[in-house]
Amino acid sequence: MVASLSTVYYGLVISHRAIPLAEVLLLAAASTAIVTLPLASLGLWSRSKQRAEDLSLSELLVRDKWLSSVVLALSLGVMCGAFVVVSDKTFYDFLPVGVRDIELPGSFPGLLAAIGAGINEEIWFRLGVLTSLTALGSWSLKIENSSTALFWSANVVAAILFGAAHLPQFALMANGLSLNVIGVVLLQNGLVGLIFGWLYWRQGLLAAMLAHFTADIVIHVIVPTFFV
């Protein structure tokens, strides 16, 4: 619910809209009930079809020593954030004015964006989508969930869906979608989505959340505050 509140508030800030607090709470509750809880439940149910030794809560959240998971997640998060910032500059001339000249709303809304995306989107696309695709592939192909080929196939699909989920936001900024915008958004979010998926697979859900949060802090807080 906190993550959904953060996401709703950030959306209102970047769209320059103001609505009553009751409506903010209602939107956050609806997002949690309609999207987050069903996908979390689907992911947990899909995990229940895996090997018994993989079913504990600790295995879901942290699969390795917590310190090494934190260091790896922070490092990859910084790298992912830097990649998005650098690629924004690289593709700047190919993007419409509404996208390339967007003004980020500030450190506090950026922090909320990082919290909301880091928690919700990892529940949706890693716990929900990636886990379910892996379980579906294992069931339909009669192979082990631990298959590397199966994981990467599911991870690619989940990363593409993760990237596609960001397209409506950019469509609003640019008053529509061009092939350039679609390509850049899918490239950026698809590649970082693959990394978050790998972290989820190897280190657990919390590592994926921390990396995602860190990447968004770089994009929405550190770079706008200190380098723009």
Domain boundaries, the chain: 2-226
Give the count of alpha carbons within 13 A of 225, CB side only: 12
pLDDT in the model for residue 47: 87
pLDDT in the model for residue 51: 59
Q: How many helices (DSSP H) and strands (DSSP E) are in the chain?
A: 14, 0
pLDDT in the model for residue 55: 62
pTM: 0.93
Instruction: Give SS3 for 39.
Output: helix
Tens of pLDDT along the chain (228 residues) come to 788 888 887 877 776 778 787 888 898 999 999 999 999 999 999 988 775 556 667 778 887 788 999 999 999 999 999 999 999 999 988 888 777 777 777 889 999 999 999 999 999 999 999 999 999 998 888 887 778 999 999 999 999 999 999 999 888 777 788 899 999 999 999 999 999 999 999 999 999 999 999 999 999 999 998 876
pLDDT in the model for residue 99: 78
Continuous segment of H or E residues that includes residue 28: helix 21-31
Cα torsion through 187, 99, 73, 9, rounded to 10: -130
One-letter amino acid for residue 208 of the chain: A
